[in-house]
Amino acid sequence: MFGLRRHFLLDPSVTFLNQGSFGATPRPVFCAYQRWQRELERQPVEFLRRRFTALMLAARQSLADYLGTDVDNLVYTTNVTESLNIVAHSLSLGPGDEVLSTDHEYGALDRTWRFLAKERGYAYINQPIPVPHRNPAYFVEWAQVDPCERAGLQHTAGCGEVGRGVGRVVTNERLKSHLHASYENIRF
């Protein structure tokens, strides 16, 4: 597909579709992290005690330049689950609020929302979305029916997977305007 296979170390006889839970690493990324691991192994203490902070800052700076933001707006986390937990825990939600997700949500985040709903007293709705979804219009309709209409907040990782994106939290109004603008442009 688009000649992308050659950029990965994947078994050529396999059609690999899961880039969410255990994604394959592109060759240049694989080579770079192997190089850094070797570098660390040469002098672990020197690397971790003396060089690590400056190296991580340089890496953040490079990412900040790419994203067009300030380096201090960025923080590295271990993975998506940790990042979304930081966001979910930081939201001031409580009784009267609702978080809407779908049954396409992956287990760890489903548990996070359930756990926080119990702890903070908001409602958590895990809405089934039948697959295969029939067409974009169906998804737009789905997003507008209750309880979405009532939802103060929508966590759309599950929707994101249907709409080919990566999960993040958006407000109800924002999601709706995205959906109306164009299905193709949805980037959750």
Ligand X SMILES: Cc1ncc(COP(=O)(O)O)c(C=O)c1O
Would you tell me which residues interact with ligand X (CB under 6 A)? 20-21, 79-81, 106, 157, 167
Q: Are 155 and 127 in contact (CB under 8 A)?
A: no
Find the distance separating the first CA and the last CA of the chain, reported in whole Å.
23
Instruction: CB nearer to ligand X: give 19 or 73.
Output: 19
Instruction: CB nearer to ligand X: give 156 or 172.
Output: 156
Shortest distance (Å) from residue 19 CB to ligand X = 9
Instruction: CB nearer to ligand X: give 47 or 106.
Output: 106
Q: Which of 145, 102, 152 is nearest to 122 (CA)?
A: 152
Shortest distance (Å) from residue 51 CB to ligand X = 26
Shortest distance (Å) from residue 166 CB to ligand X = 6
Q: Cα dihedral sign for 171, 173, 176, 178?
A: negative
Q: Are 118 and 173 in contact (CB under 8 A)?
A: no
Instruction: CB nearer to ligand X: give 80 or 153.
Output: 80
Shortest distance (Å) from residue 187 CB to ligand X = 14
The span from the CA of 146 to the CA of 81, in Å, is 27
